[in-house]
């Protein structure tokens, strides 16, 4: 059985604990990188990460982009939506089609 994790600042991710997801209140880039590597190696299939935290560790996230598991999904933090998540969708389109036809 796989589990789902949430990474981000305390205020943004606390609520997910109530749903039964495993919550990591971590925003230090180095620790987050190590955490993602550890989670990916163990039984976490989905990692939700807040956009500001994801922006700090984008190289680690792109490393897992083309592996089947885990799926790393960006979610808005409590400060609001930065649009990074939607940008990821557009990037995929650009990669596949050659230009962003969704614009």
Binding site for another protein (CB under 8 A): 1-4, 10-12, 14-21, 45-46, 48, 65-66, 68-69, 71, 73, 75-78, 80-81, 85-86, 88-89, 92-93, 95-98, 102
Residue carrying the six token digits 């994790």: 5
Q: Cβ 56 to another protein, closest distance in Å? A: 19
In sequence order, the β-bridge partners of residue 71 are 46
Give the DSSP H or E segment for 77.
none
Question: Phi/psi zone of residue 83: left (φ > 0), alpha (ψ -120 to 50 degrees), beta?
Answer: left
Q: Cβ 64 to another protein, closest distance in Å? A: 9
Q: Which is nearer to another protein, 30 or 86 (CB)?
A: 86
């Amino acid at each position: 059985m796989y589990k789902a994790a949430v990474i981000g600042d305390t205020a943004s991710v606390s609520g997910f604990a109530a749903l039964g997801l495993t919550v990591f209140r971590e925003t230090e880039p180095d620790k987050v990188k190590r955490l993602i590597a550890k989670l990916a190696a163990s039984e976490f299939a989905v990692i939700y990460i807040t956009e500001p935290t994801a922006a700090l560790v984008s190289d680690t996230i792109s490393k897992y982009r083309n592996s089947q598991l885990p799926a790393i999904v960006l979610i808005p933090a409590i400060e609001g939506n930065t649009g990074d998540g939607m940008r990821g969708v557009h990037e995929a389109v650009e990669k596949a089609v050659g230009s962003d036809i969704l614009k």
